[in-house]
Structure 1
Amino acid sequence: MTMDVVGAGEELDVNTPLLPSKDPFLRPPKGFAAKSPGTILRSRTVEIALFGRVSQQVRAWQLLYRSADLHGAPEVAITTVLLPLDADPAEDRPLLAFQSAMDAVAEHCSPSYALRKGAKALGTVTQLELLLVANALRRGWAVSIADHEGIHGNFGAPREPGYRALDGIRAALRFAPLGLRPDTKVAVWGYSGGGMASSWLVEMAPTYAPEISIVGAALGAPVGDPGEVFARLNGTRYVGLPAIVIAALRGLYPALATIINDELTPEGHRFMARAARSTPLGVLVALANQKFDDYLPRPLAEVLDEPPLRAMLDELRLGNATPTCPMLVLQPVHDQIIHVDGVDGQVRRYRRGGAHVTYLRDRYSEHLSLLPLSTSYSLDWLADRIAGAPATENSDRTIRSVVGSVAGARGLLTIAATAAKVALGRPLRQETIPATASTRARAA
């Protein structure tokens, strides 16, 4: 296997990590724009730690590679790639492309920073997600976690999360220490903001990276219609999340920037600045129950109805391109953040385009609980696709719970045991797990 590397080779970074804006590793090397998407520009070995403190016994590297922004212009991007501690690179294994629910503009929320030993990023979702991603490593899978929002934290932007994640997959497939091949089977997983990014990945794949062998995608609460979410959350305890999206998109959409610059009150500007520098968990506390209408001279509904903003919201909506891989979509019926109607619409749009979607709505879960509860179910479903089992279901079903069976309860115990290993810094070694655990038996 060949590896296209430009600039510095592998380096072991044993110091406190630098924020992305200060990290020379992330500086674009001369001539990078002439390289093909996914070309590795630099690589380094890194140490991963839970909450920046508990060192993880895994093999980990970071890859800087050539990718593209919203408009297709060349840019650099970074992914963190992982292997089980005892992985044999000569052994055949799949690659999991995991998209984190970064949900932030602030650079310390970037996975490439938040996952590292010494990172100061409390309140980031990525650090919590490590407890769940570890389950893929125990299955013997390689994992790629791209900074899908890019160096500027473009939370909510269309298309470009897909470009960065797909080019991260390309880079991982080329990185010799992972032992992967060009035809390695790739599974896709993400929840909430990560489910939205994963949706862009599978929507962009048929035209942007058709050579990648994506065998399936598990999309949890994948947002569906960000504009609808924005309107619903205004004035609620979760209003900080759309505020982060607005803070991110103002640099991409001139019409939005004009409204913010010309119409927002001074208090509104402070509100947006707080959103731009906060972690997802921090912003929920700091901005709870505030209304955008209070910071504008006219009603929010009137602002959103302007043609340029309607066009922006239409561009953010998922489901306007059709993925070619089978998909599992999981959504809480009583989701307090991502309303089930928006995800229903995303699934309908995929189906109209001819996509294969297994859609499960969970009655007993809500937004924050479904991610850990559905982890084993999602990974089992992906394991079935990796093993070559056909995705036979193409239906909508509302179930009591993804853990509402003996198999589901057993899977939850496995998740808890893995989380304990991560919390204690125990080795994450490859274990023998049945390749095709029956997810269908769990849908009680």
Structure 2
Amino acid sequence: MPASPRLLAAAVAVAACLGAQAVPAAATTPGSGPVVSRGVTIPAFYTPPATLPAQNGALVRSEPLPLALTLPGIDGPLPGRATRLMYRSTDSAGTPVAVTGAYLEPTAAWEGDGPRPLVAVAPGTLGQGDQCAASLGLQHPLLFNGQTLSVGYETLAVYRLLARGIAVVITDYGGLGTTDRLHTYVNRVDEAHAVLDAVRAARSLSGASVTRTSRVGLFGYSQGGGATAAAAELQPSYAPDVVLAGTYSGAPPADLAAVTEAIDGSDLAGALGWSVNGFLQSDPALRPIAEKYLNAAGKAALKDLSTMCVGDALLAYNSARSTTWTTDGRSLGDVVRAEPALRAFLEEQRIGTMRPSGPVRVATGVSDDLVPHAQSRRLAVSWCAKGADVTYKPVVLPDAGRALLNHVAPLLADQGSAISWLSDRLEGEPAGSNCATLPAQP
């Protein structure tokens, strides 16, 4: 649909907080030439090699990453120096995968106890194409070439952590950046593994000031909140060497069935396509179900969205309804309810079935109806019931009248408090828990 000037302006403004970048549609193999999508060429660095190292978290390659937003300082560039990374991880099928990201060494000194700590930042929703990758957003924080809209919105949280002398590693997730596969959007296992292996990769990077004794924290909102929540649950079994001092999980999509219902017809309806694409990448056995229900318009939308980022989807698929994508006019939520295999797949993606490792802080906007407040709150309740050390924070703001704004506003309003809470954990201060007061909170 054509975009009005008002919608375009709103998309640019919101993209600065929610993420917008461009993407390549086609996979490539080593030596097959550059991938170009929507006028953006993906650097050759992002093409994985034919073979990967044997260990999860092992570095495949690294190179200096120029930061677009930097200033000269007495002790070095501010806020620090960045290194682009590629490292090995493992997806939910047990297959080794290459994942990219970035490590940022702060110029500011760490004034706390012990060696410099490390925070793994899990990005919020960026899209499904390779130039949506957060590491590219650090280099190109704003890109609008007439074909795609790209905004590296995670920079704000990253720079706030660096200013405290905290080292940061940010993951691009599986298939986001790397040109060999599609991003498995909101797959909890893939994302958790990518986050935990990013910590391992950062600790093995030559010249990094973090060590194996550095305290480690996780930070993420929205898609990133789901990724850090899943990582906290899977850490004991997948990465026992990555001991977590604290995890911030903002607006986590813990129940994808509920989130699917909420985003259908919303400002961010395009995320439905990213979800379906990611599910089919994770479990090809679901493809016959997709063939059964998707009509020509639905298949075209999925293909189109696979090369879009948030800014593009806000303009092209704002308020789209999945009933126009199916052969019989049913919504994707109806299709999920009708298909046991889909229900089982989504149930496997549920976060909250295991006790998380270390203290966790769950924050959710009480007016958030994009990643619904109720299902995020249920995650905190579930963790409390399992005896976890949970700090639950309901972010109470006026209803903004738009689903996307109700989702983004708590990110900005609570970010300072979230970083302060995580910094205290990295200082070694105990977190405490407010599970006892949770029933009385909204």
Normalising by the smaller structure, the TM-score range is 0.7 to 0.9
Provide the secondary structure at the position in 2 that maps to 1:63. Answer: strand
Say if 2:404 is the partner of 1:371. no
Corresponding residue number in structure 2 for 1:131: 156
Say if 2:226 is the partner of 1:196. yes
| Alpha-carbon contact 1:67-1:77 (below 8 Å) kept | yes
Q: TM-score, normalised by structure 2?
A: 0.79
Say if 2:52 is the partner of 1:32. yes
| Alpha-carbon contact 2:366-2:395 (below 8 Å) kept | yes
C-alpha change, 1:64 and 1:149, in structure 2 (3 Å) is: closer
| Alpha-carbon contact 2:221-2:250 (below 8 Å) kept | yes
Please state how far the C-alpha of 1:363 moved relative to its aligned partner.
1.6
Say if 2:424 is the partner of 1:384. yes
Provide the secondary structure at the position in 2 that maps to 1:92. Answer: coil
Corresponding residue number in structure 2 for 1:442: none
Say if 2:72 is the partner of 1:49. no
- Alignment equivalent of 1:155, drawn from 185, 200, 220: 185
- Alignment equivalent of 1:145, drawn from 165, 170, 186: 170
Of the structure 1 ranges 37-46 and 22-31, higher mean CA displacement relative to structure 2 is found in 22-31
C-alpha change, 1:17 and 1:267, in structure 2 (3 Å) is: closer
Distance in 2 of aligned mates of 1:296 and 1:240: 15
Look up the equivalent residue of 1:284 and give its one-letter code: L
C-alpha change, 1:312 and 1:21, in structure 2 (3 Å) is: farther
Please state how far the C-alpha of 1:57 moved relative to its aligned partner.
5.3
Corresponding residue number in structure 1 for 2:116: 93
Please state how far the C-alpha of 1:153 moved relative to its aligned partner.
1.5
Distance in 1 of aligned mates of 2:49 and 2:207: 22
C-alpha change, 1:370 and 1:123, in structure 2 (3 Å) is: farther
Provide the secondary structure at the position in 2 that maps to 1:289. Answer: coil
Provide the secondary structure at the position in 2 that maps to 1:248. Answer: helix
Distance in 2 of aligned mates of 1:249 and 1:312: 8
Say if 2:391 is the partner of 1:361. no
Please state how far the C-alpha of 1:291 moved relative to its aligned partner.
1.6
| Alpha-carbon contact 2:115-2:213 (below 8 Å) kept | no
Matched length: 378
Please state how far the C-alpha of 1:398 moved relative to its aligned partner.
7.4
C-alpha change, 1:28 and 1:378, in structure 2 (3 Å) is: same
Corresponding residue number in structure 2 for 1:234: 264
Corresponding residue number in structure 1 for 2:214: 184
Provide the secondary structure at the position in 2 that maps to 1:159. Answer: helix
| Alpha-carbon contact 2:78-2:107 (below 8 Å) kept | no
Look up the equivalent residue of 1:97 and give its one-letter code: A
Please state how far the C-alpha of 1:278 moved relative to its aligned partner.
1.5
Look up the equivalent residue of 2:94 and give its one-letter code: G
Corresponding residue number in structure 2 for 1:62: 84
| Alpha-carbon contact 1:62-1:112 (below 8 Å) kept | yes
- Alignment equivalent of 1:252, drawn from 249, 258, 282: 282
Distance in 2 of aligned mates of 1:92 and 1:397: 38
Corresponding residue number in structure 1 for 2:95: 73
Corresponding residue number in structure 2 for 1:13: none
Distance in 1 of aligned mates of 2:293 and 2:51: 41
- Alignment equivalent of 1:315, drawn from 337, 348, 353: 348
RMSD: 2.7
C-alpha change, 1:116 and 1:284, in structure 2 (3 Å) is: same
Look up the equivalent residue of 2:414 and give its one-letter code: S
Please state how far the C-alpha of 1:29 moved relative to its aligned partner.
4.1
Moved over 3 A (4+): 16-24, 26-31, 85-88, 117-125, 397-400
Look up the equivalent residue of 2:161 and give its one-letter code: A
Structure 1 gap segments, 5+ residues each:
1-15, 401-444
C-alpha change, 1:119 and 1:360, in structure 2 (3 Å) is: closer
C-alpha change, 1:40 and 1:238, in structure 2 (3 Å) is: closer
Distance in 2 of aligned mates of 1:376 and 1:387: 16
Structure 2 gap segments, 5+ residues each:
1-33, 71-76, 399-405
Distance in 1 of aligned mates of 2:140 and 2:319: 35
Identity fraction in percent: 27
Provide the secondary structure at the position in 2 that maps to 1:144. Answer: strand
